[in-house]
Amino acid sequence: MFKSVTGPVLLAVALCLSMDESLALQVGAPAPTCLMKQFQDGSPMAIQAYRGQVVYLDFWASWCGPCLQSMPFMDEMQSRLGERGLNVIALNLDEDPNDARVFLEQHPVKLRIASTEGDSCPTRYEVQAMPSSFLIDRQGIIRHIELGFKKGQSAEILQRVEALLAE
């Protein structure tokens, strides 16, 4: 009896695993919609409002060491490439907004800071690491996903952004 159950059980497990993989957010998928708001004033934001522009959506938190390294890079990228159609959005995931405020006072940036209520954005984007960044093209399609950040990646990320801006 054990042998007769093993085949169907293994098949069921394999199907479940393949279904999970097919549901995972991947490069080439449309950027999910989620509820965001401007961190400073709470006004609503939507990723769809940036259709026709390139978006670098970065999920970060004040306690994240690599986020501290990525913020100056993203700020510089926004300053250099914003006029060409780049919008960097740093979406904060701190449970306490005051933690983000303190971080931003200590490390001021000019790029767009957003927040979200609940976990709709990190869930829809399937955030797996901090920071997690999504490069979204002018048609709203995810073209690259970056998990984590190392300063050595800056040139490669910049090349990807510039290539999308040139399309």
pLDDT band at 148 (very low <50, low <70, confident <90, very high): very high
pLDDT band at 3 (very low <50, low <70, confident <90, very high): very low
Task: Indicate whether 78 pLDDT > 80.
Answer: yes
Q: Has residue 18 been placed in a domain?
A: no
Residue 7, pLDDT score: 38
Contact 115, 3 (CB under 8 A): no
**Which residues are paired to 86 by β-bridges?**
54
- How far is Cα 135 from Cα 141, in angstroms, rounded to an integer? 8
Q: Has residue 8 been placed in a domain?
A: no
Q: What is the pTM of this model?
A: 0.83
Task: Indicate whether 164 pLDDT > 50.
Answer: yes
Residue type, 140: G
Q: Name every residue whose Cβ is closer than 8 Å to that of residue 97 and which is 6 or more positions away in sequence.
A: 39, 115
Contact 31, 142 (CB under 8 A): yes
Domain of 61: which CATH number? 3.40.30.10
**Which residues are paired to 56 by β-bridges?**
88, 135
Task: Indicate whether 119 pLDDT > 80.
Answer: no
Q: Has residue 9 been placed in a domain?
A: no
- How far is Cα 110 from Cα 113, in angstroms, rounded to an integer? 9
Q: Has residue 6 been placed in a domain?
A: no
The fraction of the chain above a pLDDT of 70, given in percent, is 86
When divided into structural domains, the chain yields a total of 1
